[in-house]
Amino acid sequence: MKILVAGAGQIGNTLASVLIAEKYDVVLVENESDTAKDIANETTALVIHGDAGSMDIMKQAGIKDCEIVIACTGDDKTNIMACEIAKDAGVKQIVSRVNNVGNEELFTRLGAVAVSSVSSIVSAIKRNISSLTDEKTILTLGKGEVQVLIMSVGEESKIVGLKIADIQSAIIGTIYRKGDLIFPKESTVIEKGDSVIITVKTKDLLQVKKLFSGK
């Protein structure tokens, strides 16, 4: 299955990594030349430098052969254009990040599944940090093979003090720490009290839970 991801920022790149790990054929479209160049050196996905709101660029990315298009740039206008192009190309499933909740209806009219913006994700984290052992599944991908969860880092957690690069069994895309939202780098260290958005294969979930619980 071929999937096109528009926007290779933190969200798009993390999502692409998960999809690649699941053996999907992934194409990334990124407008920023430096970002596109850096990502191309790090991923096995095909990376196209250009505007995802451009018909020519999306054709170059092979949109007519894609079964799923995921628009996750930080600009709603670009995401809307990408969804329109995908709809015209007959793409079976269209998913889009919505940065301004006031635009959600526009995406719905295009037949796209509207996904909340980062600010909404932060709100979800805040609702789930009352207990250091809290966890909540946000999203299930594929046929349940992959899960996206919010997990909290307790005092006894084995994950405390580890760098992002040390964690091989899951992908940590976002950290909520003392009121701040962090998009971690490989050198970012996990701290006690962090709440993280984590993507993990379902078969590895028990192992990851043990890492967080410290048991």
| Distance (Å, whole) CA 193 – CA 85 | 43
pLDDT, average across residues 204-208: 86
Pairing of strands 146-152, 68-71: unpaired
Choose the final residue of a domain: 81, 115, 149: 115
Phi, psi of 109 (to 5 degrees): -60, -30
Mean pLDDT of 173-191: 88
Same domain? For 10 and 109 the reply is yes
DSSP letter assigned to residue 133:
T
pLDDT band at 214 (very low <50, low <70, confident <90, very high): low
- The total number of structural domains in the chain stands at 2
SS3 18: helix
**Residue 62 vs residue 154, higher pLDDT:** 62
Q: Are residues 99 and 144 in the same domain?
A: no
Pairwise pLDDT comparison (33 vs 139), residue with the higher score: 33
| pLDDT exceeds 70 at position 30 | yes
Range of the domain at 14: 2-115
Checking if the pLDDT of 36 tops 90, the result is: yes
Tens of pLDDT along 69-96?
A: 999 999 999 999 999 999 999 998 898 8
- Please check whether residues 15 and 54 belong to one and the same domain: yes
Q: Report the DSSP pairing between strands 180-182 and 171-177.
A: antiparallel
Instruction: Indicate whether 108 and 133 sit together in one domain.
Output: no
Q: Using pLDDT thresholds of 50, 70 and 90, give the confidence band for residue 102.
A: confident
Percent of the chain clearing pLDDT 90 (strictly above)? 34
pLDDT digits (tens, 9 = 90+) for 103-148: 888 998 888 888 765 444 444 444 433 333 356 676 777 677 888 8
Report pLDDT for 112: 86
Tell which residue, 167, 213, 209, 211, has the closest CA to residue 188.
167
Q: Do 76 and 162 reside in the same domain of the chain? A: no
pLDDT, tens digit, for every residue of 149-180?
Answer: 888 888 888 899 999 999 888 888 889 888 78
67, 100, 115: which is the final residue of a domain? 115
| Whole-number pLDDT of residue 117 | 52
Are β-strands 113-115 and 93-97 bridged in parallel, bridged antiparallel, or unpaired? parallel
105 with 182, same domain: the answer is: no
Distance CA 211, CA 156 (A): 10
Half-sphere exposure at residue 193, Cβ-oriented, CA atoms within 13 angstroms: 4
Computed over every residue of the chain, the mean pLDDT equals: 84
Nearest to 167 by CA among 181, 186, 154: 186
The CATH number for 61's domain is: 3.40.50.720
Residue 156: which CATH number?
Answer: 3.30.70.1450
